[in-house]
Chains A and B, each alone.
Chain A
Amino acid sequence: DVKVTQSSRYLVKRTGEKVFLECVQDMDHENMFWYRQDPGLGLRLIYFSYDVKMKEKGDIPEGYSVSREKKERFSLILESASTNQTSMYLCASSSRAGVTDTQYFGPGTRLTVL
């Protein structure tokens, strides 16, 4: 089974802190994604990566950056956390850039910014 793990299930940070969310997949997938999930809005794509050291902006990249130094690891960085970044963050991976490929999701990190 594909396994996508995220470093924390729950995280509480203060406004202005730098926050790192880590995601690791164990199936040698090329593509990795970061989404945020908010009630009534579904999932919105923040960033994705289709290869090591490659990244593309999604629909809501403002206030976020990403890093992919190794194929299995994709990190989301909040440079200066703000209260409107309180959300559930989901990482996903898929095997190639095909339109029919399934995305495999991690359990999510619920981030609260105070």
Chain B
Amino acid sequence: AQSVTQLGSHVSVSEGALVLLRCNYSSSVPPYLFWYVQYPNQGLQLLLKYTSAATLVKGINGFEAEFKKSETSFHLTKPSAHMSDAAEYFCAVTFNTGGFKTIFGAGTRLFVKA
């Protein structure tokens, strides 16, 4: 069965520090991976996505993620956190199993301290 796990429902970092949000998936078919961000009182918007073209994916606002098949992971990183990065982040995986299905992780809320 396919699943997505985000480790840590809350992550707190200081402004300027490294941001690392973890995502692991389980799949018997090739996965297509996404990170979405949700700012307060808004819907989700795409940060970046892995589509098998390159394992290191760069997204908006300085975020990037690396697909590691051996570790079944797609962790999101940003070298230097900014106050405006405070939001909830969702990892999502789409599988092609005849039709296609997207599963979202439970989300990780990022807090950025001044």
Contact = CB atoms under 8 A, between A and B. Distances in A.
B84 interface: no
Interface of chain B: mostly helix, strand, loop or mixed: strand
Interface stretch (A12-20, A41-49, A67-75, A77-85): A41-49
A90 B100 contact: no
Interface residues of A, number: 23
B90 interface: yes
Interface in B31-66: 32, 34, 36, 41-46, 49, 51
Interface string B13-46: 0000000000000000000101010000111111
A34 to B, nearest CB: 13
Interface residues of B, number: 24
Given A42-B105, A99-B32, A100-B32, A108 B100 contact: no
Nearest 10 Cβ contacts at the A-B interface: A105-B43, A43-B104, A42-B106, A100-B51, A42-B104, A105-B44, A99-B32, A99-B94, A99-B96, A102-B46
Interface of B: 6, 9, 32, 34, 36, 41-46, 49, 51, 90, 94-96, 99-100, 102, 104-107
Contacts of A108: 42-43
A30 B51 CA distance: 21
Given A97-B100, A99-B94, A107 B9 contact: no
